[in-house]
Structure 1
Amino acid sequence: MPRSPGWYYSGSTTTDLQEDGVMTAEPDRDAAGSETAEALEEAADSTGLDVLARSGFAVLAVLHILIGSIAAGIAFGGYGQAETSGAIGPLARSEPFGPLLMWGGCIACASLALWQLAEATVRVRHRPPRERLVKGVSSGALVFIYGSVAATFAAFASGRGRDSGDSTSDFSAVLLASPAGAPALAAVGALVLGVGGYFVFKGSARRFRPELNYFEDTRRGHLLNALGVAGHIGKGIALALVGLLFIAAAVNHRAEESTGLDGSLQALLGYPFGAPLILAIAAGLICYGLFALVRARWGKM
């Protein structure tokens, strides 16, 4: 069949356009980009990353249980820092395995952050635009959260660990001093508050159930369901408290008011209902940790 003088479709997998004898590379670039995305997705689905990401879930599970236990102690008048550094610090100082535990936790959480990055990018490229946006925002936020935990492990492993509340206040101070100022800090608070609200919704609506490879209608299934509901709601309330402190710091232009979860719990002690609420949050964090342990073993990846 004779060619038309304009352009023609070659019929090959990589479509070439020929226009007056000049080859255009747009389709080739599209094909190359698709092949790159497929290669990245294949790497993200590798067994090695799967094992490391699951270990990241297990590390986070232990951290939630430890933080919940510290929070419970605070509710009964005890001492401790109910935050990541408060849970990691004693482990970092344990001899002779402290540094090894820190680097192991760093690698596990960094791998989980990388897995979530794949969730937000290459794994959602074939979904509808709205689903890509929602997944990009949710998994993107988790990339930041898990990456921050990995950085905390690395800091303690190298002997530079510090109080998470101080780090949060320093972060707030940097934002307040930036050109964006208080609105940027308030936006961070609103984002954390929104994530907390999503966790409460996810727990109350039982949206966590599809994350498990099985959910039998048995006693074990009912137990996991109870842990998931209580855990997600408790974690959501804890995140909401942290978000509210960010917003308060932005409104009052006082970076020192954003002191993370531990500061939120300490502030609650000044109210009559403070101790029971702290105890409920502590129980929720422990439940979330137990659920995350199950997620690490039987969760969908």
Structure 2
Amino acid sequence: MRLSGIATADDKSGSDSVIDGAADAAEAASNSIWLDVAARSGFAVMALLHIVIGAIAIALVLGVPGQADPTGAIEQLAANPWGPAVMWASCAACAGLSLWQLSEATLRARHLPRGERLGKLISSGFLAVAYGSVGLSFAGFALGQRGDSGDSTRDFSTALARSPFGVPALVGLGLVIIGIGVYFIAKGFGKKFKEELHHFEGTRRGRLISMLGVTGHVAKGLALILTGLLFVIAAATNNPGSSTGLDGSLKALRDHPFGPYLLLAIGTGFIAYGAFALVRARFGRM
């Protein structure tokens, strides 16, 4: 029995060694220059999307029609003569960024303390899904499958509201989005984004990057809070069709006395966030 127990322990130890070795090999592969380039390209694509969304939001103030969300931004990019090539290249870049975030959530997180490991799994895992979804949107446009994100959000809200826990689930979703918005605002004012960059402290470039980071994160946080509020209001008024995502929340501002000014500020902030993301793509810590 003892010999059997020892053999079992040895087998388990050997199995753990094989798993650790495979994980180390996968982590080494994730540190390749190719994944680094793909991830940085993905950050650049996300930067471009934010700049276009910001420009569309500003245009809304001037009465120009448009869809101020990722789908609307992708549609603008697809309209140029090189549209299909841009769509597939952006899809590949987002896929690379999603894969990099997945490696952050799993392979690199192994070396963190337990509490930090869980936080990294949740944050980077969420980003991996988000960037992957944007990549799928690019692929959809490349294949000619174009949709309206406002309609998709409205349909999702309606389906969720009709589920057994519809209203609490809709409220919960709205509160989660509001919480993410508050996180972005806190990250902006606290300048936590500097941890993602190689530092340029004490330089003119550093002050400019800091200004872009604060303005961009706060603006994106406000937009997310507005989007989350629409979900909560939709649940409270039993009107799930009124939740139309980012585009709907920004367009709703136009009907309020100071709404156009806030919309203009958010649009400018999105452009600032896009500029910061370009810096992140070039000088970010990977």
TM interval, shorter chain, is over 0.9
Compute the displacement of 1:88 (Å): 1.1
- Whether 1:174 aligns to 2:155 is no
- Identity percentage of aligned residues: 52
2:245 to 250, 256, 260: 260
State yes or no: 1:71 paired with 2:57.
yes
User: Residue 70 of structure 2 corresponds to which residue in structure 1?
Assistant: 84
With normalisation by structure 1, the TM-score equals 0.89
Instruction: Say which of 135, 139, 155 aligns to 1:150.
Output: 135
Determine whether 1:128 maps to 2:98.
no
Q: Deviations over 1:106-137 (max 9, x none)?
A: 11111111111111111111211111122122
Are 1:272 and 2:257 counterparts? yes
Question: Deviation at 1:22?
Answer: 5.7
Instruction: Decide whether the 8 Å contact of 1:209 with 1:215 is kept in 2.
Output: no
Structure (1 or 2) with the larger CA radius of gyration: 1
* TM-align CA RMSD: 1.8
Report the AA paired with residue 276 of structure 2.
F
* Richer in helix (by share): 2
Secondary structure of residue in 2 paired with 1:208: helix
- How many angstroms does 1:206 deviate by? 0.3
Taking the aligned partners of 2:161 and 2:15, their CA distance within structure 1 comes to 43
Consecutive aligned runs of 4 or more in structure 1 exceeding 6 Å deviation: none
Q: 1:94 aligns with which of 62, 80, 86?
A: 80
Gaps of 5+ in 1: 8-17
CA distance in 2, matches of 1:22, 1:143: 38
Q: 1:107 and 1:273 mapped to 2: Cα distance?
A: 40
| Matched residue type, 1:270 | D
Could you tell me which residue of structure 1 aligns to residue 36 of structure 2? 50
- String of CA shifts for 1:151-203, please: whole Å, max 9, x gaps: 11111111111111112122223322334423223222222211111110000
C-alpha change, 1:211 and 1:175, in structure 2 (3 Å) is same
**Alpha-carbon distance in structure 1 between the residues aligned to 2:8 and 2:179:** 52
Q: Which amino acid aligns with 1:136?
A: L
| Equivalent in 211, 224, 235 of residue 220 of structure 2 | 235
**One-letter amino acid matched to 1:249:** A
CA shift, 1:23, in A, is: 6.1
Q: Which of the residues 177, 185, 195 maps onto 1:200?
A: 185
Which of residues 8, 14, 17 is equivalent to 1:31? 17
